């Protein structure tokens, strides 16, 4: 019998469970999240499912009064954006791609890729992900975007300053031979991250379903395929390894624990950095839109809240505490919102061409 992990880890484990709860699709009454492997749906009677489903729907509906749908409120939301430079920041997992059990299979659809590509033709667009940057690039496959991997600790953008992007960083060539600028505020941590990843991969081998993902400046320990009764044991292993690394921090996300350099840098700082690099920091003429589903996205929502312009949009199908002002249920709704955004811009440009002063209607 293993001993329980420390108090703060127990709190995190509870938060992780709460963050990706199973929810019921009212039309089929089947658990529609992938977390059913960790629950025991057999023990639920049909009536119980029905009641839980109704209660979950009621709770979500009530929560949406504080955090309304960005699709339903689109027109209102974009009033403030009129004539401003919209900049789009997109998280990857759970935002552009659905959450799946195997992190290597979290592909985005071709339709989603097409709409993100179109968004990027009208607005500077960045992907801000916890993933290693090359991995998220492999999924997204769009050279015209800015990428910030490892929760913002690995930023890459085109070096061609004609598009206004003047990042301080190192000029290198990307895989395709294009000139890019790299900004890696935690670059000296790379050997340490490699070491920790190796030790954790070894020590977690005994826990069935555990998976350790090297996200370059972040090491992610996946709990999604681990039986809940083994979560404590896995968390304890992580905690034990971390004891020897005082310069690293532990955080949690959707059924993951993550080890990161203990530096003051996060997705919010990456948003600030990209806005500055685009020459748009401290400007009331910019309207940043950030869409994300995870705890780590809250740092970016906070930055937008403090800026007092722009908007944070949380992707969730269950009520969550958030600093975002709007919400979208899932990646399908994200796609719908991005379509609206493109249509809004096209109408605005058509209006300018035709000399119309009226607001575009969606």
Ligand X SMILES: O=P(O)(O)OC[C@H]1O[C@H](O[C@H]2O[C@H](CO)[C@@H](O)[C@H](O)[C@H]2O)[C@H](O)[C@@H](O)[C@@H]1O
Closer CB to ligand X, 179 or 194, in the complex: 194
Half-sphere exposure of 58 (CA within 13 A, CB side): 6
User: In the bound complex, which residue of the shown chain has the CB atom lying closest to ligand X?
Assistant: 130
Query: What is the smallest separation between the CB atom of 136 and ligand X, expressed in angstroms?
Result: 7
Pick 249 or 283: Cβ nearer ligand X = 249
> Would you give the distance in Å from CA 116 to the centre of its chain?
15
Structure-derived torsion over alpha carbons of residues 164, 165, 168, 169, reported in degrees to the nearest 10: -150
Smallest distance from ligand X to CB 313, Å: 14
For residue 181, the surrounding DSSP H or E stretch is: strand 179-183
Length of the chain: 362
Report helix angle 110-122 to 331-353, nearest 10. Answer: 30
Please state whether 93 falls in left (phi above 0), alpha (psi between -120 and 50) or beta. beta
Whose CA is closest to 53, among 84, 75, 32?
A: 32
Contact 266, 303 (CB under 8 A): no
Question: Which one is catalytic: 35, 91, 266, 294?
Answer: 91
Any idea what DSSP says for residue 237?
A: H
Whether 91 is catalytic is yes
Q: How far is the CB of 104 from ligand X (least distance, A)?
A: 8
Which of residues 100 and 339 has its CB atom nearest to ligand X in the complex? 100
Q: Give residues in contact with ligand X (CB under 6 A).
A: 91-94, 99-101, 103, 106, 129-131, 213, 215, 220, 222, 224, 253-256, 294, 296
Q: Give the residue with the Cβ less far from ligand X, 322 or 344.
A: 322
Q: Are 145 and 90 in contact (CB under 8 A)?
A: no
Nearer to ligand X, 37 or 283 (CB): 37
Beta strands in 1-145 (DSSP E): 85-90, 125-128
Query: What six digits make up the tokens of 241?
Result: 């390894």
Distance CA(148)–CA(302), nearest Å, equals 18
Is the CB of 101 or the CB of 330 nearer to ligand X?
Answer: 101
- CA-to-CA separations, 359 to 75, 215, 270, in angstroms, rounded: 9, 43, 32
| Residues designated catalytic | 91
């Amino acid at each position: 019998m293993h001993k329980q992990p420390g108090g703060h880890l127990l709190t995190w484990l509870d938060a992780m469970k709460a963050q990706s709860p199973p929810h019921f699709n009212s039309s089929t009454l089947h658990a529609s999240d992938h977390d059913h492997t960790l629950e025991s749906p057999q023990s639920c009677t049909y009536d119980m499912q029905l009641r839980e489903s109704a209660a979950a729907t009621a709770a979500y509906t009530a929560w949406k009064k504080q955090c309304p749908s960005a699709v339903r409120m689109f027109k209102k939301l974009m009033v403030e954006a009129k004539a401003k430079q919209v900049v789009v920041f997109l998280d990857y997992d759970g935002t552009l791609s659905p959450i799946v059990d195997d992190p290597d299979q979290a592909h985005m659809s071709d339709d989603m890729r097409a709409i993100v590509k179109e968004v990027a033709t009208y607005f500077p667009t960045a992907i801000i992900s916890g993933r290693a940057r090359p991995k998220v690039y492999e999924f997204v496959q769009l050279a015209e975007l800015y990428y910030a991997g490892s929760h913002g600790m690995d930023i890459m953008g085109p070096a061609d300053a004609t598009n206004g992007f003047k990042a301080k960083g190192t000029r290198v060539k990307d895989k395709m031979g294009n000139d890019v600028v790299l900004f890696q505020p935690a670059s000296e941590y790379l050997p340490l991250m490699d070491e920790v990843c190796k030790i954790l991969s070894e020590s977690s081998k005994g826990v069935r379903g555990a998976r350790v993902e090297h996200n370059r400046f972040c090491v992610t320990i996946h709990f999604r395929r681990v039986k809940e009764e083994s979560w404590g044991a896995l968390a304890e292993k992580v905690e034990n390894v971390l004891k020897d690394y005082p310069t690293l921090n532990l955080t949690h996300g959707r059924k993951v624990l993550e080890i990161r350099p203990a530096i003051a840098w996060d997705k919010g700082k990456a948003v600030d950095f990209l806005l500055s690099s685009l020459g748009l920091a401290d400007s009331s003429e910019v309207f940043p839109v950030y869409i994300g589903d995870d705890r780590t996205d809250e740092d970016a929502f906070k930055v937008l809240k403090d800026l007092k312009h722009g908007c944070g949009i949380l992707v969730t199908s269950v009520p969550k505490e958030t600093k975002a002002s709007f919400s979208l249920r899932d990646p399908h709704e994200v796609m719908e919102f991005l379509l609206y955004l493109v249509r809004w811009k096209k109408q605005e440009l058509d209006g300018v061409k035709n000399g119309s002063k009226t607001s575009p209607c969606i």
